[in-house]
Amino acid sequence: MAETAALPTTSGPVSGLRFDGVSEFRGIPYAGPIGGDRRFRAPVPPRSWTQTYAATRWPLMAPQPWGMSADDEAYYGAVFGAPYVTESTEDGLYLNLWTPAADGARRPVMVWLHGGGLLFGQATRPRENGRRLCATQDVVVVAPSHRLGLLGYLDTRTLLGGDANVGMRDIVLALEWIRDNIETFGGDPANVTLFGESGGGVKITTLLAMPSAAGLFHRAICQSGVMPSPGAPGGLTPEQAQPMTEAVLSAVGDPAELRELPAAALATIPLPGGSGWQPVLDDETLPVPVAPALAAGAGADIPLILGTDADEMRVLMRGRGLPATVDELATLLVGLGGLAGLSGATGATPVAEHYAGSGDDFALSAERALGDAMFRIPTIRVAQLRTTAGGAPVFMYLLRWQNPARPDVGAGHGVETSLVFGNLADVPALRDAPAADTLATMMAAAWASFARDGVPRVGGEPWPPYRPTDRATLIWDVPPTVGCDPGGPDRRAWPD
The catalytic residue positions are 198
SS (H, E, C) the chain: CEECCCECCCCCCEECEEECCEEEEEEEECCCCCCHHHCCCCCCCCCCCCCCEECECCCCECCCCCCCCHHHHHHHHHHHCCCCCCCECCCCCEEEEEECCCCCCCEEEEEEECCCCCCCCCCCCHHHCCHHHHHHHCCEEEEECCCCHHHHHCCCHHHHCCCCCHHHHHHHHHHHHHHHHHHHHCEEEEEEEEEEECHHHHHHHHHHHCHHHCCCCCEEEEECCCCCCCCCCCCECHHHHHHHHHHHHHHHCCCCHHHHCCHHHHHCCCCCCCCCCCCECECCCECCCHHHHHHCCCCCCCCEEEEEECEHHHHHCCCCCCCCCHHHHHHHHHHHCCCCCCCCHHHHHHHHHHHHCCCCCHHHHHHHHHHHHHHHHHHHHHHHHHHHHCCCCEEEEEECCCCCCCCCCCCECCHHHHHHHCCHHHCCCCCCCCCHHHHHHHHHHHHHHHHHHCCCEECCEECCCCCCCCCEEEEECCCCEEEECCCHHHHHHCCC
